[in-house]
Structure 1
Amino acid sequence: MKHETDVLVLGAGIVGVSAALHLQQRGRDVVLVDRNAAAGDETSYGNAGLIEVASVQPYLFPRDLGHLLRYALNRSADVHYHLSGLPEFGPWLVRYFMASSPESAARIAKAALPLIRQSLAEHEALIAEAGVPELLRKTGWIKLFRSEQSLGKSVAELEGVKRFGVTADVLDDAAIAAREPNLMGRFAGAIHWLEPGFIPDPGALVKAYAALFARKGGRFLRGDARTLHQQGGGWRITTDDGVVSARDVVVTLGPWSDLVYKPLGYRIPLGVKRGYHQHFTPHGNAVLQHPLLDADRGYLLAPMNRGIRLTTGAEFARRDAPPTPVQVTRARALARDLFPLGDAIEPQPWMGARPCLPDMLPVIGKAPRHEGLWFDFGHQHHGLTLGPVTGRLLADMMTGAEPFADPKPFALERFG
């Protein structure tokens, strides 16, 4: 059976579902295609659940010798690497390091600012339309510090971002205990970022957005993005329901986007930061009120619907290499000194992959050499945050509307 549509969106994570919804809102007939039978089962499922409206500074490659030496030893909870994968990710790390200079960081922050600051509002609109207000909590999140040095550095950074309207409370021990009574240990202090939203089930949120898309007439089909090919002035893909053709196609495949763009001849410096999580029961009557980053030890705890989610930092490895969840083991021991974690809920940690460009900005916009081919991927640590807002920007560009933010910093051409 053959189907026709206006737009094919490849990938049903938060980025793809959001793009499909925004295109649908502008009158486009959209077919969403994923290799899984349901939306939100890959990268979008496993994250800290934060809509990071306050994160106006990019995630940079550290440049201080202490961090670099600690990471080189490969024993930390926040960074782990596969030595065997170094030929693959090493050149990307060099580009990441170069893009993390102070001058580049200022340019990146300026480019991302309109998207970051609009991100929560875009989610709120979709959450209201999808009818799932219980999936958004306005708690913000807390960043804990063990050392005066790291606290002082972050407080100085807070002062620098207040000009963008960012609000936060600096907490001493008593204030920390008042907001999180079940924490153990002593701290130099903490920052409670007040504005970010918290999603206690990110996978369920993506599924709710996909259900909204279907209720409004959108079609969700299972298919393999590698079957995409250009034909007769448009694009075709093979799905379980037959061949689907469209004038436009949007690649929102996150860390798997290379499966489409490489065969088409595009050289894009897409890297992958893998990450892990595992859920735990709280011990006794202990309650965690906020997502909580133990900044100096490199892990995060989040009070998800399924349990307390322990998430790790970044693992540098080949995307498809077997899981090596040593960071979860390291972080679990550290976390039990902070909060009374009980038993693990899953037998094994979950692993996902974050799609990252060296400048920590996504690629959004039209492919330069193929008519009707569009990109929307590379959202790094901010996929959940930026999915709806980049979907809006992409839909503006595809439908000829005036973009609400400058799209030039996200163009593929920035890589030459």
Structure 2
Amino acid sequence: MQHRADVVVLGAGMVGVSAALHLQQRGRDVILVDRLARAGEETSYGNAGLIETASVFPYMFPRDFGQILRTALNLSPAVRYALADLPEFLPWLVRYYLASAPHRALHSAMAELPLIRRSRIEHEALIAEAGVPDLLRGTGWIKLFRSDATLGTALGDLDRARQYGVEADVLDAAGIAAHEPNLSGDFAGAIRFPAPGFVPDPGGLAKAYAALFAKKGGRFLVGDARTLEREGTSWRIAGSDGAIVAREVVVALGPWSDQVFRPLGYSIPLAVKRGYHLHLAPRGNAVLTHPVLDSDQGFLLAPMTKGIRLTTGVEFARRDAPPTPIQVERALPRARDLFPLGEAIEPTPWMGARPCLPDMLPVIGRAPRHPGLWFDFGHQHHGLTLGPATGRLLAELMTGETPFADPTPFRAERFE
């Protein structure tokens, strides 16, 4: 059996499903391909659930010497690295550091700003069409600070972000208690960001979008993206029940995108920031309303459908290295001090990988040397946030529409 379409989208996470929907809306016959039979089962499943309209500045390499030293000594609660893997990812870290120079970081922020501003709008449209309003809450999120120093730095960052339309409320201890009465601790203050959306089941939202895609006539097939090859004027992939053939193909494989672009001769510097989460039951009648980041201790609690999700910061290690959930183990007693947490709901922490480029911008657009090949990957910490926005931008480029944002900063050629 052979399956034919106008476009094949490789990867059924939030980024791939969103691209498939936007292409479908523009009249393309699309096949969505993943190695798993359900959407949103990997990177898109494990995150803080935020549609982060307040993060106008990407997560760049720190410039503070004390913070760099703590990270180098593996003492930072928010960042850890595997010493054995250091030779592999150190060259990428150097590129990341250089791309984080203030003027270059500002360039990345301004390039991504139109996507950030569009992110919740695009999600709201898809959520309405998919009929899942319960998967978007308008709570925003809260960032806690335990010292005057960290609060002061954050307030300086907030002043800068407000220049680009970010709204926030600064909370004292009474304000924190009013919004989240079950939190405990000595806090210098907090910042509440009201505009970001919160998704209590990110993997479920990806599945809802995939169901919408299928309802509108799209096909979701299991296949192996690593088998992608050029066949005349088309692209061919081995599927579980026959070949999948299309004129155009979109690589939206997140941290696995290199398994396709490297064999084709592209040296795009894709790396991963690994992360972990664990779901726990709240104790007694305790309720958490907002996602809450304990910025000084490097973890976040989010009130997911499955339970309270404890998420960690960043682990630099090989994508496929065995899990080392040390950050979860260190954060768990601190999280129990912050909020009344009961037993773990799952036996072991989940691990995922955020696909990152050194400038913290995704690659979106045409592959420079292969007709019909398109890229949509590298969304760093913002795959859930940006998936529908970058899906729209990519679909506009592929169908000849005027793009809503300047695509130039996202071109793959910037690394050549």
The alignment's TM-score, normalised by the length of structure 1, stands at 0.99
Code of the residue aligned with 1:121 in structure 2: it is I
Alpha-carbon separation, structure 2, partners of 1:338 and 1:254: 33
Cα deviation 1:313-351 (Å, max 9, x = unaligned): 000111000000000000101111111111100000000
1:247–1:372 CA contact under 8 A, matched in 2: yes
1:77–1:327 CA contact under 8 A, matched in 2: yes
Alpha-carbon separation, structure 1, partners of 2:113 and 2:79: 26
3-state SS of 1:318 partner: coil
3-state SS of 1:337 partner: helix
Q: Which residue of 2 aligns with 1:123?
A: 123
Alpha-carbon separation, structure 2, partners of 1:334 and 1:76: 14
Alpha-carbon separation, structure 1, partners of 2:333 and 2:400: 53
Alpha-carbon separation, structure 2, partners of 1:84 and 1:156: 37
Equivalent residues in 2 for 1:307-386, closer than 5 Å? 307-386=307-386
Alpha-carbon separation, structure 1, partners of 2:4 and 2:182: 56
1:167–1:193 CA contact under 8 A, matched in 2: yes
Code of the residue aligned with 1:177 in structure 2: it is A
1:281–1:345 CA contact under 8 A, matched in 2: yes
1:76–1:330 CA contact under 8 A, matched in 2: no
Q: Which residue of 2 aligns with 1:257?
A: 257
Alpha-carbon separation, structure 2, partners of 1:204 and 1:118: 21
Q: Which residue of 1 aligns with 2:218?
A: 218
Alpha-carbon separation, structure 2, partners of 1:185 and 1:214: 47
Alpha-carbon separation, structure 2, partners of 1:146 and 1:178: 18
Q: Which residue of 1 aligns with 2:114?
A: 114
Code of the residue aligned with 1:207 in structure 2: it is K
Code of the residue aligned with 2:55 in structure 1: it is S
Q: Which residue of 2 aligns with 1:392?
A: 392
Equivalent residues in 2 for 1:59-138, closer than 5 Å? 59-138=59-138
2:67–2:76 CA contact under 8 A, matched in 1: no
Q: Which residue of 2 aligns with 1:291?
A: 291
Code of the residue aligned with 2:411 in structure 1: it is A
Q: Which residue of 2 aligns with 1:159?
A: 159
Alpha-carbon separation, structure 2, partners of 1:155 and 1:121: 27
Alpha-carbon separation, structure 2, partners of 1:197 and 1:358: 27
Following TM superposition, by how much is the alpha carbon of 1:150 offset from its aligned partner in structure 2, in angstroms?
A: 1.1
Alpha-carbon separation, structure 2, partners of 1:80 and 1:167: 31
Cα deviation 1:199-225 (Å, max 9, x = unaligned): 000000000000000000000000100
Following TM superposition, by how much is the alpha carbon of 1:160 offset from its aligned partner in structure 2, in angstroms?
A: 1.4
Alpha-carbon separation, structure 1, partners of 2:69 and 2:297: 15
Q: Which residue of 2 aligns with 1:404?
A: 404
3-state SS of 2:3 partner: strand
Gaps of at least 5 residues in structure 1 are: none
Following TM superposition, by how much is the alpha carbon of 1:72 offset from its aligned partner in structure 2, in angstroms?
A: 2.0
3-state SS of 1:107 partner: helix
Structure 1 residues 147 and 162: alpha-carbon distance in aligned structure 2, compared to 1, 3 A threshold: same
1:71–1:80 CA contact under 8 A, matched in 2: yes
Residue 175 (structure 1) aligned with residue 171 (structure 2): no
Number of positions where the alignment pairs a residue of Structure 1 with one of Structure 2: 416
Q: Which residue of 2 aligns with 1:242?
A: 242
1:76–1:327 CA contact under 8 A, matched in 2: no
Cα deviation 1:172-205 (Å, max 9, x = unaligned): 0000000000011110000000100000000000
Code of the residue aligned with 1:156 in structure 2: it is G
2:254–2:355 CA contact under 8 A, matched in 1: yes
CA RMSD of aligned residues (A): 0.7
Q: Which residue of 2 aligns with 1:230?
A: 230
Alpha-carbon separation, structure 2, partners of 1:77 and 1:149: 17
Code of the residue aligned with 1:322 in structure 2: it is P
Following TM superposition, by how much is the alpha carbon of 1:75 offset from its aligned partner in structure 2, in angstroms?
A: 3.9
Residue 56 (structure 1) aligned with residue 56 (structure 2): yes
The alignment's TM-score, normalised by the length of structure 2, stands at 0.99
Gaps of at least 5 residues in structure 2 are: none
Q: Which residue of 2 aligns with 1:13?
A: 13
Following TM superposition, by how much is the alpha carbon of 1:163 offset from its aligned partner in structure 2, in angstroms?
A: 2.3
The 10-residue stretch of structure 1 (154-163 or 213-222) with the greater mean CA deviation from structure 2: 154-163
Following TM superposition, by how much is the alpha carbon of 1:367 offset from its aligned partner in structure 2, in angstroms?
A: 0.3
